[in-house]
Amino acid sequence: MLLSIGLMGFSQKSRKKSPPPPPPVFKLQTLEDSLAYSIGILNFQNLNEELIKKYNLKISTETLIRGISDQSKDSSILKVEDANEFLGYYMMKKEGELAAEEEVAGKKFLEENKNKPGIIITPSGLQYEVISMGTGGKPLATDKVKVHYIGSLIDSTVFDSSVERGEPVVFYLNKVIPGWTEGLQLMPTGSKFRFYLPPDLGYGSRSAGPMIKPNSVLIFDVELINIEPSN
């Protein structure tokens, strides 16, 4: 009897479980299906670029979809104005946290950077180094200039680049952030400088786009191509 029970137990343990069936293939059956799916993709893409990455948010897609579904049925547990108010509160909270973190990291970076060979510091706190020195004239704050540039953060993340776009930019020096207005006036035409902008010479305590956090130190490699004639 014991032998029989033992064999039965062995037989049950050795019996293989059937694999679960594959999930059904999702298909877009109608134009309206394609429209709805496209709206979902684009909305999440925008959400990801503007909020999730910037604030390192952990978003439950199930809850997100529940919110969309409830609102479509007019059965949401929050009013639209309450949702807007909460979102504003939450973003202000995260902005404050990011600003504090960036301020500490930025001060440490600039303090270490100023002691590197070739770094020059102006009275405003702008730090810069000469990559190559041109021989042309220096622009005034009221001049229009043509430049190539690469903008990056202290972690080397590139947030903007006319070089990558393959097209220089033209602007009046007194229409840009203070660090550029000051820094480019130090450059003879044909020069390439690298600028390290403390927050008050950049965007200060506010964000700028999805990548530049409040109190960010900004690094720019700038080539002054030309001083353009004013119209």
Q: What is the DSSP letter of 169?
A: E
Asked if 219 and 198 count as a contact pair (C-beta separation under 8 A), the reply is no
Q: 124-161, pLDDT tens digit by residue?
A: 999 999 999 999 999 999 999 999 999 999 999 999 99
Cα–Cα distance measured from residue 214 to residue 211, given in angstroms and rounded to the nearest whole number: 10
So what's the pLDDT on residue 226? 96
* Bridge partners, residue 193, by sequence: 130, 222
So what's the pLDDT on residue 2? 39
What is the pLDDT tens value at each position of the chain, 231 positions in all? 433 434 344 445 445 667 777 766 678 889 998 998 898 889 888 888 778 877 778 889 899 889 989 998 999 898 999 999 998 898 889 888 888 999 999 999 999 999 999 999 999 999 999 999 999 999 999 999 999 999 999 999 999 999 999 999 999 999 999 999 999 999 999 999 999 999 999 999 888 877 898 999 999 999 999 999 876
So what's the pLDDT on residue 17? 67
So what's the pLDDT on residue 229? 86
Cα–Cα distance measured from residue 106 to residue 153, given in angstroms and rounded to the nearest whole number: 10
For the chain, which domains are there? 108-228 (3.10.50.40)
Distances (CA, A) of 92 to 80, 82, 86, 145, 209: 18, 15, 10, 37, 15
Of 162, 214, 222, 213, the C-alpha closest to 186 is 222
Of 76, 221, 227, the C-alpha closest to 160 is 221
Place of tokens 């270490």: 112
**Rounded to 5, what percent of the chain is helix, strand, coil?**
45, 20, 35
Cα–Cα distance measured from residue 194 to residue 220, given in angstroms and rounded to the nearest whole number: 6
The token pair at 221 is 């490699």
Asked if 196 and 180 count as a contact pair (C-beta separation under 8 A), the reply is no
Q: How many residues in the chain? A: 231
Cα–Cα distance measured from residue 194 to residue 184, given in angstroms and rounded to the nearest whole number: 10
